[in-house]
Amino acid sequence: MIDHVSIAVGDLAGSAAYYETLLATIGLTRLVDREGTVGFGKKYPEFWLNARPGKAPEPSGTGTHICLRARSRDAVDAFFAAALAGGGRSDGAPGTRQGAMTTYYGAFILDPEGNKIEAVTFPQD
């Protein structure tokens, strides 16, 4: 249903480098580089970074939350480790959680700009 998402970042080059490593853990690669925007995806850009020079980091608890599907628990763990190694912060370590319809395995991070990103895998994945 959702084709792609975009987040605003104050430091496009730094965020692009951070996400290039982070998103590789769940199978997304850097596909598009344009002035003011970078797109990541599998076959086409699904996750975009849009430059907003001078933008302050997001305050905690803004309610913005983007969840990305991972292939396995190992991929969720790698996503979390890469996020922290790249300067992100934990907002929920990898683990099993109860969702609306089933249990799932996921991890929550705050990127260096304060955006809340989750990686998740489901039992049938």
Which structural domains are found in the chain, ordered by start? 5-53+64-121 (3.10.180.10)
Return the closest-CA partner of residue 82 out of 62, 68, 61, 102.
Answer: 68
Does residue 70 contact residue 119 with C-beta atoms inside 8 Å? Answer: yes
Rounded Cα distance between 46 and 59, Å, is 25
DSSP state of 72: S
Q: Which two tokens stand for residue 38?
A: 């970078």
Which has more pLDDT, 11 or 57? Answer: 11
Does residue 57 contact residue 38 with C-beta atoms inside 8 Å? Answer: no
Buried-state track 49-75, b at ≥16 Cβ within 10 A, e below 16: bebeeeeeebeeeeeeeeebebeebeb
**Looking at residues 48-65, what average pLDDT do you find?**
87
Place of tokens 């608890």: 61
Interval 14-55: pLDDT, tens: 999 999 999 999 999 999 999 999 999 999 999 999 999 998
Predicted confidence band of residue 68 (pLDDT cuts 50, 70, 90): very high
pTM (2 d.p.): 0.89
Residue 117 pLDDT greater than 90, yes or no: yes
**Looking at residues 97-105, what average pLDDT do you find?**
89
**Per-residue confidence (pLDDT) for residue 46, from 0 to 100:** 96
Q: What is the separation of C-alpha 86 from the centre of its chain, rounded to a whole number of angstroms?
A: 12
